[in-house]
Amino acid sequence: MGQVSSLPVISWQFENLPHGDSRMTKELRMTNPVGRTTLSRWAMTLVVLCLRSSSAFASGETFSLVGHDLQVDVDSRWVGCGQGGYCPVRVRVVNRGPARRLTFRIAKSSYQIVAVRQTIDVPQNATVGLTLSMPMVNGSNNGEFRVADAGGDLENMRRSVSFPEINNWEMGRPGLVVVSSGTVDLQPFEDGATTFRHTNGGLSSGGGSPAYGGGSRNSNCVWLPKNSLPASWVDYSGLDLLAVPLDTLAQLPKETRAALAQWTRCGGTLLVTATGDSATANEALAKILVDDAASASAWIWSEPDLSDRHTPQIVHQDPGGGISASSPAPANVPGEWPRVAAPFRMANVGFGKLVAFTGEPFPGTTQDWFWLLKATGGVQRWDWGKRHGLSSRQGNSDFLMFLIPGIGGVPVVMFLVLITIFSIVIGPLNYFVLARRKQLHLLLLTIPALAFVTSLLLFGYTVLAHGFSVKARCRSLTFVDQAAKSAVTLNRLSLYAGQAPSAGMQFSRDTAVYPIWPESEEFESGQLDWTNTQMLTSGFLRSRTRTQFLTVGHRTERGRLEVTASGTDKLTVANGFEWGFAPLVVANDQGQLFVGKNVAAGDSIDLPRATEEELRDVASALQRHPLELPVGMTGGNPSGPFFGSPRRSMRSYAYWGGGAVSYHQHESQMEQAWLRLRTGAVTPGNMTPQSTREPRTFYGLATQAPHIELGVPKATEINSVHLVMGRW
């Protein structure tokens, strides 16, 4: 036979690129019958760029692992989470062997992530489902899914998984999940969001250079079948919007519908499509979402302004980051929404938005989705970082504005005094004494001895000054919907542990926990166990280290404020909550305000009409312990000694050329609602300050923490402020 030239056989190995290229090729190897060589760097880069030119895609995938009498189906498809939240990895396990206890884990691969695990009992011939909720707390977006039993990890039962990439370069990219059994064209929605960003909400012409720094950009939208939806609101916490048809919503399991309602109350935007006429839609939504017509009757529906539909230009951003602008499409183009009447209505539900579409909005046009995004509140509502006032995946510049008083860092004055005394004693005094005694050779012993004693004194002073207990500072805002018997609490939490609890931190499954890192730091490592509850077993709270979180919790609240009119100038209020108020402001059916300076738990008192002076006093009380830098500090990055052991700078900063987007707590939904309360307006979903006093509402400062989780068994609160508002 003649000699046949051997052609190279190329094998592709998809691994992890640094922060953000969740499914790009990190390593490409070329194999041939003669031997194996590694592609050169320039060739690899060329191939990756070619791959990047393909259409954008969301993160995650579906796959199955079979072996050991098990079939494990995994669905990691998800979007959002660019600034924080939990990414749900849905798992379905079929056990064809004997009953056993299995542990499902997500472990680190190339970069640090939170190691998540959950242990369940799987009976013989049973099918069990669970969700591994992965907190997105840094720039890493890859891990490894593993299955283990009592003997350890099962062979061939592991697979790499990817998570949504970090977004620290581009503000205003909403994460949207559409529930559908078929393919949905989501490009008009993405163009609507791009147009909103580049035209400043329609106030300027589009175009210009993109905020994105270059390279590929994964889609931030995905359509999923109804059986892929998780059943806990925390699993939706990284999303900005979710769209679901009304009939599909009715078919979802009760737990999933409850999770969507809770997520909406906690700040999400739920789009319910194909609702039909308004009267039928209101009744159906009340039954499906809250199963309580009385609760839904408190929803105040509004229609969008038809004039907000106009935008000067349409802006499109391709997967590579390139920008192109064009004129708006003419009227009556295929697929656009009706122009004569508003095709959707909106209602504030807790801290979130409920949007009801009469028909089917997809695909719509770029102008249609621009209109919706503007009508629902703009970037402040559907950008995760703006809504929360922070990013839990990168450092935050306002970390120093929420410190615990008295634990500002190193006690500089006392340390200077001790060091000065040490310098005098170990230097001239030590030498003078030994010289007079003609024992200078003892300097070899006295100098290290004095240094050791001084070190013990410095350490001992720090221990005595800060102790071993846990100190906490809270700034919380709770919204109580009495008709729905629900409460949502947003809590900025600062902790300092002299000795971190050995068991770590513990939160309920209905509380989302977002770490807040100083500007020059990043998350290093940690573990989260969902077996019984949400156990943060390591990495989140360190001894003698400044630690901060934002927690968002949903719970059932059966306490209530009973309000009855006692005349035109007096209200009778019975406080059925477990905490008192000092002060308390109540608006009657006409929106007139009544003030009580101190209303204890269980009290029933008469409130007089509020005077302007009393309202000024309430406004002053709301300013108690504000967000501000410590006395004598004007800014700057935190130093290593101030926060404890220094950590590495964020790798994503180096990779993306610096974080272009920063968020601030005063811009958050929580702080904006706090600001509006100073004017008497208590609608948390309204993102613009106003002076309207809404009827049948109340707000006040709680005299004790209203069922707020601190994550530790016991802590001493310092300068905490707990604001409660709601509808009666």
Mean pLDDT to the nearest integer, 710-720: 93
Distance CA 224, CA 235 (A): 14
* Alpha carbon of residue 708 to chain centroid: 17
Q: What is the pLDDT of residue 421?
A: 84
User: Do the beta carbons of residue 493 and residue 715 sit within 8 Å?
Assistant: no
- As a whole number, the mean pLDDT across the chain is 82
Going by pLDDT thresholds of 50, 70 and 90, the confidence category of residue 634 is: low
Q: In the structure encoding, which two tokens stand for residue 311, read together?
A: 């935008």
Angle (nearest 5°) at CA 60 between 154 and 383: 135
CA distances from 720 to 397, 406, 491, 673, 678 (A): 21, 14, 10, 18, 18
In the predicted model, is pLDDT for residue 183 greater than 80?
yes
**Helix (H, G, I), strand (E, B), or coil: what is residue 248?**
helix
CA distances from 14 to 29, 63, 111, 331 (A): 10, 15, 15, 45
Q: In the structure encoding, which two tokens stand for residue 263, read together?
A: 């997520």
Residue 220: partners with Cβ closer than 8 Å, 6 or more residues away: 58, 79, 80, 82, 164, 173, 174, 175, 176, 190
User: Do the beta carbons of residue 519 and residue 511 sit within 8 Å?
Assistant: no
Mean pLDDT to the nearest integer, 435-450: 84
Going by pLDDT thresholds of 50, 70 and 90, the confidence category of residue 26 is: very low
In the predicted model, is pLDDT for residue 211 greater than 70?
no
Going by pLDDT thresholds of 50, 70 and 90, the confidence category of residue 457 is: confident
Name residue, tokens 């929580």.
Answer: 670
Q: What is the pLDDT of residue 342?
A: 87
545 compared with 68, residue with greater pLDDT: 68
User: Do the beta carbons of residue 161 and residue 76 sit within 8 Å?
Assistant: yes
Going by pLDDT thresholds of 50, 70 and 90, the confidence category of residue 147 is: very high
Mean pLDDT to the nearest integer, 616-626: 91
CA distances from 299 to 216, 296, 346, 679, 727 (A): 42, 5, 9, 22, 11
Mean pLDDT to the nearest integer, 460-465: 67
Mean pLDDT to the nearest integer, 304-318: 85
In the predicted model, is pLDDT for residue 640 greater than 60?
no
Going by pLDDT thresholds of 50, 70 and 90, the confidence category of residue 202 is: confident
Q: In the structure encoding, which two tokens stand for residue 471, read together?
A: 């100190």
Q: What is the pLDDT of residue 632?
A: 63
Domains and CATH numbers, the chain: 9-52 (no CATH), 65-71+89-162 (2.60.40), 169-386 (no CATH), 389-728 (no CATH)
For the chain, what percent of residues have pLDDT higher than 90?
51
Name residue, tokens 């708006």.
Answer: 328
Name residue, tokens 């656009």.
Answer: 336
Question: Which tens digit of pLDDT belongs to each residue from 660-701?
Answer: 578 999 999 999 988 888 765 555 554 443 334 788 899 999
Q: What is the pLDDT of residue 48?
A: 34
* Alpha carbon of residue 433 to chain centroid: 63
Going by pLDDT thresholds of 50, 70 and 90, the confidence category of residue 201 is: confident
Q: What is the pLDDT of residue 656?
A: 36
Q: What is the pLDDT of residue 644?
A: 41
- Give the global pTM: 0.83
In the predicted model, is pLDDT for residue 253 greater than 80?
yes
Query: How many CB atoms are located within 10 Å of the residue 289 CB?
Result: 24
- Residue 487 φ/ψ, nearest 5 degrees: -145, 140
Distance CA 44, CA 46 (A): 5
Angle (nearest 5°) at CA 690 between 686 and 692: 100
Exposure string over 182-196, b if 16+ CB within 10 A, otherwise e: eebebbbbbbbbbbb
- C-alpha R_g of the chain: 29
Q: In the structure encoding, which two tokens stand for residue 275, read together?
A: 């609702």
Q: What is the pLDDT of residue 257?
A: 94
Question: Which tens digit of pLDDT belongs to each residue from 481-526?
Answer: 998 889 999 999 999 998 888 889 999 999 999 999 888 787 877 8
**Helix (H, G, I), strand (E, B), or coil: what is residue 664?**
coil
Closest CA to 696 of 564, 569, 591: 591
In the predicted model, is pLDDT for residue 12 greater than 90?
no
Mean pLDDT to the nearest integer, 422-434: 83
Distance CA 673, CA 572 (A): 26
In the predicted model, is pLDDT for residue 34 greater than 50?
no
Q: What is the pLDDT of residue 463?
A: 66
Mean pLDDT to the nearest integer, 226-253: 96
Q: What is the pLDDT of residue 9?
A: 28
Mean pLDDT to the nearest integer, 154-170: 90
Mean pLDDT to the nearest integer, 378-383: 91
User: CA dihedral in degrees (574, 579, 585, 587; nearest 10)?
Assistant: -50
**Helix (H, G, I), strand (E, B), or coil: what is residue 431?**
helix
Question: Which tens digit of pLDDT belongs to each residue from 556-575?
Answer: 999 999 999 877 788 999 99
In the predicted model, is pLDDT for residue 78 greater than 70?
yes
Q: What is the pLDDT of residue 410?
A: 52
Question: Which tens digit of pLDDT belongs to each residue from 102-111?
Answer: 999 999 877 7
Closest CA to 682 of 720, 721, 722, 724: 724
Going by pLDDT thresholds of 50, 70 and 90, the confidence category of residue 17 is: very low
Name residue, tokens 């009385």.
Answer: 294
